[in-house]
């Protein structure tokens, strides 16, 4: 049995061979394609030892490995995605060899065509919203409370205001999201991001992905500009992404009209 | 004019939002919960892997193990056992968390 | 940490940055103290709202908490720490301290 596997990054349509020149993926391996008709699986060799199921579970807990693999994977998808219609695959999809990939392409041809048709002319944008920090705000710099009872009253007020601020931020975020959803043909909610990983101190209140027709991206940019000075929230948009979040086949039924 | 079959993403240098760096968190959001899900030959693809659990384990493994005095039957609990206990709590918490898919 | 050759022939010595160790330790200690302070404060407020306390008890409790908060401010400032420094994120268990004080 071979000790290399075929790692599949994405399935594309009409890949231009010149685009593969010098393109490197996981482990620095050269990227190539396995084609069936117009469909092309974008692949590279990978070490079997790295991707066996048990080894993989451990590696997932190794943030360094995960980060390196994710970036290498993304590099391939993102580079090719600039000039090609491309359906990204979930991370670490591996097959025994190219022949197996060819078989999968053939068997799932209609599925891939369906996904690709839905993604054509569209890009993914991430909408992330954070609540601006209220902090000690109004109480900072004020005179010391005149009594213990007054101190408790002030603290009670401050805590109440803090809770309110978070609620208001969530409401504002929902409004922004509604506006962006109107520009998109599909939208999806992601889990709120873990602060240890993202390194922010402001609480995240919204994390959404939107599939937007490329020609409407300017409207999105304009909308976000108007929100730069919003008192309650900080809005961040990421993208354009190759549509990772919209490549699942069951999404087809959930797309907005 | 764009053909229906292909499209140009805005080149990164003049990207709409000026961001050069792709944040790892944003990438992991997409790579661990996105993409076409196929059953590979050796692994089930990683769709649905809980990112939160990963971050908690990464955090736990970065904390040095602590020797705890025995609480039940006078047995000594090692750092590994303590770490496992926290992981078990985290996994219970994971199951209670709502999935993020919309 | 810095390595430095020892003059008396006993080999290189590693100097531990004492300030750094002290600071890290204080950060941990202050984080825990801050957690307790916030818990006590919330508990005190809840009891006041429930009408559990006499006026004197309310006054004494409030004064103690106020003094504790001031002491915390002084200590954190002394060690060059910000409120955001005094936190630990436990993933699905949430941050140790609520992010908005």
Task: For chain C, say whether A82 makes contact (Cβ under 8 Å).
Answer: no
| pLDDT (average), residues B57-80 | 36
Residue of A nearest to B49 (CA): A60
Q: Indicate the number of domains in chain B.
A: 1
User: Which of A165, A170, A166, A173 shows the shortest CA–CA distance to A235?
Assistant: A173
- Residue B4 falls within a domain, yes or no? no
Contacts of B83 in chain A (CB under 8 A): none
Residues A89 and A161 in one domain: no
Taking contacts as CB-CB distances below 8 angstroms, the residues of chain C near A203 are 99-100
Q: Do A48 and A150 fall within a single domain?
A: no
Nearest-angstrom CA–CA distance, B57 and B95 = 15
Instruction: Based on the fold, state whether residues A150 and A171 are members of the same structural domain.
Output: yes
CA distance A158 to A175: 26
Single residue among A77, A100, A119 that ends a domain in this structure = A119
What is the ipTM for the molecules in this complex?
0.76
| Pair (A215, A132) in one structural domain | yes
Closest CA to A113 of A45, A25, A13: A13
Nearest-CB residue to C91 (from A149, A165, A194): A194
Question: Rounded to an integer, what distance in angstroms lies between the CA atom of residue A8 and that of residue A31?
Answer: 10
Shared domain check, A142 and A113 = no
Omega before A66 cis (within 30°)?
no
Chain B residues within an 8 Å CB radius of C91: 52-53, 55-56, 59, 90
**What is the predicted pLDDT for the residue at B27?**
82
* Residue-wise pLDDT tens digits, A30-86: 999 999 999 999 999 998 888 876 677 677 667 778 888 888 999 999 999 988 999
B90: closest chain C residue by CA: C92
What pLDDT score does A202 carry? 82
**Radius of gyration (C-alpha) of chain B in whole angstroms:** 21
A150 and A214, same domain (yes or no): yes
Q: Which residues of A touch B96 (CB under 8 A)?
A: none
Residue with tokens 């990963």: B54
Q: Domain range holding B22?
A: 12-96
Name the strand (E) or helix (H) holding C27: helix C18-50
Please, which pLDDT band fits residue A197 given cuts at 50, 70 and 90? low
Claim to verify: residue A90 and residue A198 sit in the same structural domain? no
Our count of domains for chain A comes to: 2
User: Does residue B2 belong to any structural domain of this protein?
Assistant: no
Query: Which H helix or E strand runs over A112?
Result: helix A109-119
Query: Of A119, A153, A184, which residue sits at a domain end?
Result: A119
Containing structural domain, residue A61: 4-119
Do residues A247 and A195 both lie within one domain? yes
Residue A15 has pLDDT above 70, yes or no: yes
Among A60, A91, A119, the domain boundary falls at A119
pLDDT of residue B37: 65
The three-state (H, E, C) secondary structure of chain B, written as one string: CCCCCCCCCCCHHHCCCCCCCCCHHHHHHHHHHCCECCECCCCECCCCCCHHHHHHHHHHHCCCCCCECCCCCCCCECHHHHHHHHHHHHHHHHHHCCCCCC
Supply the DSSP symbol for A89: E
Instruction: Check pLDDT > 50 for residue B76.
Output: no
**More confident: A64 or A121:** A121
User: Which regions in chain C score pLDDT beneath 50?
Assistant: 1-6, 89-94, 100-101
Q: Tell me the whole-structure pTM to 2 decimals.
A: 0.65
pLDDT tens digits, residue range B7-33? 333 333 333 444 446 787 788 788 876
Contact A148, C60 (CB under 8 A): yes
* Contact call for B8 and A82, based on CB within 8 A: yes
Contact B36, A249 (CB under 8 A): yes
Q: pLDDT band at residue A234, thresholds of 50, 70 and 90? A: very high
Q: Report the C-alpha gap between A33 and A17 in whole angstroms.
A: 8
* Residues A233, A189 contacting (CB under 8 angstroms): no
Q: Which of B21, C81, B35 is nearest to A198 (CA)?
A: B21
CA distances from A204 to A169, A191, A223, B72, C32 (A): 10, 10, 20, 40, 24
B57 assigned to some structural domain:
yes
């Amino acid at each position: 049995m071979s000790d290399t596997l075929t790692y599949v990054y994405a399935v594309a349509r009409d890949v231009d061979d010149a685009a593969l020149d010098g393109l490197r993926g996981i482990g620095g391996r050269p990227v190539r394609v396995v084609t069936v008709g117009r469909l092309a699986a974008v692949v590279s060799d990978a070490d079997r030892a790295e991707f066996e199921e048990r080894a993989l579970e451990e590696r997932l807990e190794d943030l360094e490995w995960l980060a390196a693999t994710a970036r290498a994977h993304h590099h391939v998808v993102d580079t090719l995605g600039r000039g090609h219609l491309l359906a990204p695959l979930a991370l670490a999809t591996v097959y025994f060899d190219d022949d197996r990939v060819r078989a999968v392409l053939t068997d799932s041809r209609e599925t891939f065509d369906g996904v690709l048709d839905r993604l054509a002319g569209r890009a993914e944008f991430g909408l992330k919203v954070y609540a601006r920090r209220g902090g000690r705000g109004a109480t900072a710099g004020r005179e010391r409370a005149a009594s213990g009872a007054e101190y408790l009253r002030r603290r009670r007020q401050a805590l109440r205001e803090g809770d309110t601020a978070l609620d208001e931020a969530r409401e504002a975020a929902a409004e922004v999201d509604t506006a962006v959803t109107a520009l998109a043909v599909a939208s999806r909610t992601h889990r709120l991001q873990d602060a240890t990983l993202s390194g922010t101190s402001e609480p995240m209140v919204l994390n959404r992905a939107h599939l937007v027709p490329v020609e409407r991206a300017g409207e999105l940019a304009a909308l976000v500009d108007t929100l730069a000075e919003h008192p309650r929230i900080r809005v961040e948009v990421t993208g354009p992404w190759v549509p990772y979040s919209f490549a699942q086949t069951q999404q087809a039924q959930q797309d907005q009209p | 004019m764009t053909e229906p079959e292909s499209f140009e993403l805005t080149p990164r240098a003049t990207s709409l939002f000026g961001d050069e760096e792709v944040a790892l968190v944003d990438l992991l959001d997409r790579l661990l919960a996105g993409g076409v899900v196929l059953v590979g030959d050796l692994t089930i693809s990683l769709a649905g892997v809980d990112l939160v659990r990963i971050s908690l384990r990464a955090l736990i493994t970065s904390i040095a193990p602590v020797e705890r005095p025995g609480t039940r039957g006078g047995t000594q609990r090692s750092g590994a056992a303590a770490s496992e206990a926290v992981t078990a709590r985290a996994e219970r918490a994971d199951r209670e968390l709502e999935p993020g898919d919309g | 940490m810095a390595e430095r050759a020892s003059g008396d022939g006993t080999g290189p010595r590693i100097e531990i940055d004492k300030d750094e160790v002290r600071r890290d330790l204080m950060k941990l200690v202050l984080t825990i103290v801050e957690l307790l302070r916030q818990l006590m404060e919330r508990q005190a407020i809840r009891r006041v709202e429930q009408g559990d306390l006499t006026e004197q008890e309310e006054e004494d409790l409030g004064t103690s908490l106020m003094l504790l908060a001031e002491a915390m401010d002084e200590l954190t400032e002394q060690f060059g720490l910000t409120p955001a420094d005094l936190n630990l994120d436990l993933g699905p268990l949430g941050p140790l301290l609520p992010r908005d004080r």
